Amino acid sequence: MDIVLDAFMVVLQPSNLFFIVLGVIPGIMVGAIPGLTATLAIALLLPFTFALDTVPALLMLIGIFVGGIYGGCITAIMVNAPGTPGAAATALDGYPLCRQGFGGKALAVATIGSFVGGIISATIMIFASPLVANFALRFSSGEYTMLAVFGLTVIFSVSGKSITKGLISGVLGLLVATVGMDQIMPTARFTFGISRMMIGFPLLPVFIGLFAVAEVFRLIEQSVTDNRKGQESEDRIAEKTANMGKLFPTWAELNALKITIIKSSIIGSFIGALPGAGANMAAFVAYGEAKRSSKTPEMFGKGCIEGVAAAESGNNAITGGALIPMLSLGIPGDAVTAVLLGALTIQGLMPGPSLFRDSLDVIYPMFIGLYFANIVMVIVGLSGAKYISKIATLKKSTLVPLILLFSLVGAYAQQASTYFMLMTFLFGVLGYVLIKYEFPVAPIGLAVILGPIVERSLRTALLRSEGSLLIFVSSPISATLFALTLFTIAFTVYRQVKKSKEALEGNAEQME
């Protein structure tokens, strides 16, 4: 109990609370802008955390995380343009509600739902993480390696339209991570004699490049087509919004929603904890369940406030859930938690079972910080969502240069290094090209963080087994994980082939 109280006292310090707010507000703003995700918010704002000590930096990151995931609902409701993928389900009923003049109510319910989702998932996380970490501490390095490999395989597979491409992206990322000084033996790998490359590809530029700069180039390319359409409204990422209505839900209405919200929060927490399943899935599953169990399912999609509540609770509930495997196992569940994990690594922490053993003075403030981040979010959301949404109406010619400049200068700022800036640029180009060819970019980011961890674990295991590869299948746990991994790869390849075959046959039929 002492630790928890200490953590409370730490977080309650005005300066720390300030940093939570400093994270939440920009997080909401970036999350609100369609096309910019919570991942990007963390990547872009990461450089600002370097000037801070560990705990304030982490609190700020948590704030960005919570704000970013929430922010998407604002534009989802007001202009039918979800700011984040997780808010797509919110738009289904949120936007119709807004059109009917109940935008204010929809926003309020979304905010409150997000808040409850965040709180419930934070609570689940606080209890579950130490248990999972404890369990994982007993893993041998062989078993842990297989767990990481399995987690990676799942995440790579579900990342994009094509599973094959997701896996290739992932492996590419793992290869990128091998560049530089080897961890165990003091040799340089793939540095081609360039001494600067001994440090390999640093995390921050890789992330900022892949997620922010690539997006900038993509937006610029898109502006060409938009300009040709000759529509002025395409200048802005979202059009100016309609009348909001100042309505706030009544207590009776909120009361009626409470079961939906709680149920969706629990669903979101569990889905968030699964590798590969993110806010999008959580929101839609919660939405679907709410519709299924509703007394008025036919109203869903036409402006049913239950839909908004379910979608947003589910969406925000992933914040706590996703942190469970990320903190306790060191295996992130999706791109957002991957960036967060990278941020923790940069701060010198080693997420994984040992984190709970060695760094409790950092973990518990983080847990408490999650609660406060949600509190800040609900306050800011209820009072200022309308104003925050204005940022989404910024012209592209303002936003795009801003993102690019922040990315490049932010990357430089970490060590006053133009090498970092160059890496940001190169990975931006790489990301842009990959997106063009429909390769998902998130797996690369994930792989760059997890690659060294997996490799170290792998080689430690092999050293222990004196080179025998059997160590990865010798224990029941690792053998099961190994089989699951193979099965996942085989199954996803099979599904891919089947999909292609169906597309082929479908086309053939139409031609006849």
Partner 1 sequence: MISNYLKIRRRAKEDIIIGVVFIILAIVVFITSFELPEPPIATSGPAFWPRVLALLMSGMSIVLIGNAVVMLKMKEAKTDNETLQEEKALIEEDEVKEPEKGYLFNWWLKYKKPLIAIFATFLFYLFFRVLGFIISVFTLGAVIALLVESDINRKTVAKIIIQSVIVTVGMYYLFAVILSVRMPGGLL
First to last CA, the chain: 73
Does the footprint of partner 1 cover residue 242 (CB under 8 A)?
A: no
Question: Shortest gap between Cβ of 351 and partner 1 (angstroms)?
Answer: 21
Bridge partners (DSSP) listed for residue 181: 188
Q: Which is nearer to partner 1, 220 or 479 (CB)?
A: 220
Does the footprint of partner 1 cover residue 398 (CB under 8 A)?
A: yes
Asked whether the beta carbons of 94 and 76 are under 8 A apart, the reply is yes
Q: Which is nearer to partner 1, 171 or 199 (CB)?
A: 171
Bridge partners (DSSP) listed for residue 189: 180
Q: Which is nearer to partner 1, 182 or 289 (CB)?
A: 182
Exactly one of 408, 430, 444, 446 binds partner 1 (CB under 8 A); that residue is 408
User: If phi over 0 gives left and psi between -120 and 50 gives alpha, with beta otherwise, what is residue 466?
Assistant: left
Give DSSP secondary structure letters for 191-252: -TT-GGGGG-S-HHHHHIIIIIIHHHHHHHHHHHHHHHHT-GGGGBSSPPP---------HH
Q: Which is nearer to partner 1, 316 or 457 (CB)?
A: 457
Does the footprint of partner 1 cover residue 193 (CB under 8 A)?
A: no
Asked whether the beta carbons of 253 and 309 are under 8 A apart, the reply is no
Q: Which is nearer to partner 1, 142 or 321 (CB)?
A: 142
Question: Shortest gap between Cβ of 241 and partner 1 (angstroms)?
Answer: 21
The contact pattern for partner 1, residues 34-53, with x = CB under 8 A and - = no contact, is: --------------x--x--
In 355-469, DSSP assigns E strands to none
Q: Which is nearer to partner 1, 311 or 391 (CB)?
A: 391
What's the CA gap between 262 and 260, in Å, rounded? 6
Question: Shortest gap between Cβ of 165 and partner 1 (angstroms)?
Answer: 7
Question: Shortest gap between Cβ of 44 and partner 1 (angstroms)?
Answer: 13
Q: In Å, what is the CA distance from 273 to each residue of 64, 269, 370, 452?
A: 19, 6, 16, 22
What's the CA gap between 481 and 493, in Å, rounded? 18
Does the footprint of partner 1 cover residue 450 (CB under 8 A)?
A: no
Exactly one of 134, 243, 250, 418 binds partner 1 (CB under 8 A); that residue is 418
Does the footprint of partner 1 cover residue 178 (CB under 8 A)?
A: yes
- Which residue stretch of 15-23, 107-115, 166-174, 246-254 sits at the interface with partner 1 (rule: CB under 8 A)? 166-174
- Three-state DSSP at 180 gives strand
Does the footprint of partner 1 cover residue 174 (CB under 8 A)?
A: yes
Buried b (16+ CB within 10 A) or exposed e, 145-169: bbbbbbbbbbbbbbbbebbbbbbbb
Lookup: tokens for 228: 């040709």
Question: Shortest gap between Cβ of 433 and partner 1 (angstroms)?
Answer: 10
Does the footprint of partner 1 cover residue 421 (CB under 8 A)?
A: yes
Does the footprint of partner 1 cover residue 504 (CB under 8 A)?
A: yes
With CA atoms as reference, report the closest residue to 430 among 201, 223, 199: 201
Question: Shortest gap between Cβ of 182 and partner 1 (angstroms)?
Answer: 4
* Footprint (CB under 8 A) of partner 1, residues 422-441: 422, 425, 428-429, 432, 437-439
Does the footprint of partner 1 cover residue 486 (CB under 8 A)?
A: no
